[in-house]
A and B are shown apart, each in its own frame.
Chain A
């Protein structure tokens, strides 16, 4: 895919990455044919996530995007299973068929907090439907196996080929390499502790 743009989120601290002498923005947009991919190399807290979702929504309106697929993780209760399972949650019922046709279990009961909740809350109020894929994963360690499951599911939904062999071959290396990003993500989540989420009576 080719990089076609960057996403700027208001109030986000200035961050840039340098890769092979090239300056990269932390949130980038890639495109091939009629598919756009937005990748963020920085974790968000829930306040920035809401602003991020609004910016993405504007981008989708400008580019006549028909549906959005968001990939997330869900803590695996039984980590001994051979392959992680994936669940789907649609903001609009029009996407329920996507779950059914691709044999993706529907996320039926549970609570969503923080960043995910902020993003879903924005999209469920818009006219662009979003499908959130929750791959079972380890909640606090990098989990490339879960990423592969998510990618395979996306490839089925969009009817495209995604080569996951590179991730499969480098799983251990990726887990070591992404320790610091995971560490930063967890620290961002710890800051959200102060968000004072109400108790849930269920």
Chain B
């Protein structure tokens, strides 16, 4: 079982980013959570009503973005106006550099789980 990098309760709550839906472009902001482990981060996105084939994950040096098309439009009344959302979209800035070659993702029960190994850089310090 993987060991989470926790220091009592304070570290148990993951980094949560604020939800901003884009009404103009019919984009919902999915819930996400980022948790830090000894040698990797685990980033999850909640993508209900989405098929695996319609999920697109992209990343650069320290940002991961997820886009997904909903199986059917989701209607919600906002500010007295009914909006029909068609997509999920969100980008998450990671606190460190990503080892892009070893990053992997899986999709299950409408959730994307991305395992991101930390890029280990640095030099040994010689003990005299």
Contacts and interface: CB of A to CB of B under 8 A. Distances in A.
Interface size class of B (residues with CB under 8 A): 20 to 34
A163 interface: no
Given A77-B1, A141-B31, A141-B44, A193 B19 contact: no
Interface size class of A (residues with CB under 8 A): 20 to 34
A140 B10 CA distance: 15
Contacts of A190: 13, 16
Interface string B25-41: 00011110100000000
Given A140-B33, A183-B19, A114 B9 contact: yes
Nearest to A80: B108
Query: Dominant SS at the A interface?
Result: helix
B55 to A, nearest CB: 14
A140 B8 contact: no
Contact of B16 (A145, A176, A187): A187
B8, B18, B30: residue with the most chain A Cβ atoms closer than 10 Å: B8
B110 A172 contact: yes
A200 B11 CA distance: 13
A182 interface: yes
A187 B19 CA distance: 12
B110 A180 contact: no
A27 B31 CA distance: 25
Given A77-B1, A175-B110, A186-B16, A197 B46 contact: no
A176 B49 contact: yes
Interface string B75-94: 01000000000000000000
Nearest to A78: B1
Given A79-B111, A173-B48, A193-B9, 10 more contacts: A77-B1, A80-B108, A171-B48, A175-B48, A175-B49, A176-B28, A179-B31, A186-B13, A192-B9, A197-B10
Interface of A: 77, 79-80, 113-114, 138, 140-142, 145, 171-173, 175-177, 179-180, 182-183, 186-187, 189-190, 192-193, 195, 197-200
